[in-house]
Structure formats: C-alpha cells, structure tokens
Amino acid sequence: MHILSVKDPAFRKYGRVITNVDFTQLVEEMKKTPVPDGVVYEPGINALEALPVKKELETITYGEMPVQIGYCNGHNSKLNAVEYHRSSEINVAATDAILILGLLADVAEDFTYDTSKMEAFLVPAGTGVEVFATSLHYAPCGVDGQGFQVAIVLPQGTNYPLEGAHQKVEQGKAPSEDALLAATNKWLIGHAEGGLPEGSFLGLVGENLDVSK
C-alpha cells in the first residue's frame, strides 16, 4: 500500500493532527503497556486516566464531555474490519503506527463498503490525531512488522458491552444499521477474512488491505 503522512493534505478529510495538547506524559506511560503478538484493546486504563492530559482533553478537545483513555497495542498489518462512532476518536501514537481510513459517506445503502476507497497514513511516535466521526477506521497497524502502542481516547462509555436488545444480522438480507452495533457507540462492518465473531456483518467488499504489501 502507498502510505501517506498524517501531515499530508489528503488526511484532512479524515481527521487532524492535534497541536494544542502536550502528550508527553501519556506517551511515556503508554511505553509501560504490553505489546502482544496479536492485538489487544482496553477502553479505559486507570494509569492513563490519572494523567493531567485527561482533563485537558475533556476541556479543550471534547468541549467538557467526559472521556476515557485506553489503548490498542500489538502486532497487525491488515484492515480486517471498519468501525465508526458518533464521536471523534483521538489516537496518540507511542510508537510509529499506521491508520487505514475511509469515509462513512462512501458506505452503500446496504452497508457494504469497497475497501479500495481507503487510504493509509503514518502517525509518527509522539503524535496525537483526531479521527473524525465521519471516518471509518479499525485497529492500527505496525510499521515494517514492528509492534505498535496507541492510546485511544473516546467519550466515556464507548466500546463497552451492550446492555439492550438489538437487531441481528440475517444471512442474505441487507442489515439495518442497528444490526451493525457491536458495542456501545461502535458500529462494525467486517471482512470475510477478518476473523470477526460469528454474527458480525461481513460487508467489506474487495481486498483485506495489508500495509506490508
């Protein structure tokens, strides 16, 4: 894949580089978090949320909304799925990491999506980016097979287990958006090669993108 920088103008339709928040302490604390062979996501980590940057992000970036700070770490080079939220997500890279991004506006009425429309962007270590709510994204990827550590900031309660009843994906039928809801404030469209849980909507059309190719 051709990989652009988040400083490239092409990134502006997906998000922005955050320049008015100091992420130094967050990056240092992130370096203590595990880097498994696979991918692990934790929506909220006490040691990260105890840092002064949490209040700063709530005040400056999220307009006084309460947030959670967790991480997504590991080894990964593939897209596997896309997700979106009703809110922006902030990614702070403790290591170099690659984000594969698309636009929610390009999802078809039947919730299928062509992966050839996606672009990949390098987030250098120490950089924080806001990924807009209108952007499709999923787990970060490592650079040249290396592991990655990325802090994930979202509105409080996002990505936790659902409590209510929601529609299910029915084989051979176009789903409603409610059937895509995989966790609180998280709608998911998977790839057939993505290894997602049974019952996930597999609406990604085309290649399961791989940043190592």
Contact indicator for 209, 100 with CB cutoff of 8 Å: yes
The band of 171, judged by pLDDT with boundaries at 50, 70 and 90, is confident
The band of 121, judged by pLDDT with boundaries at 50, 70 and 90, is very high
pTM (predicted TM-score): 0.97
Largest CA distance in the chain: 49
Provide the percentage of residues in the chain whose pLDDT is more than 90. 96
Q: Which residue has the higher pLDDT, 212 or 171?
A: 212
The tens digit of pLDDT for each residue in 50-72 reads 999 999 999 999 999 999 999 99
Q: Sheet of 135-136: strands edge to edge? A: 3-5, 119-123, 97-103, 135-136
| Among the listed residues 22, 48, 43, 20, the one whose alpha carbon sits nearest the alpha carbon of residue 33 | 48
The helix/strand/coil state of 153 is strand
pLDDT at 172: 78
Backbone angles phi, psi at 49, to 5 degrees: -75, -15
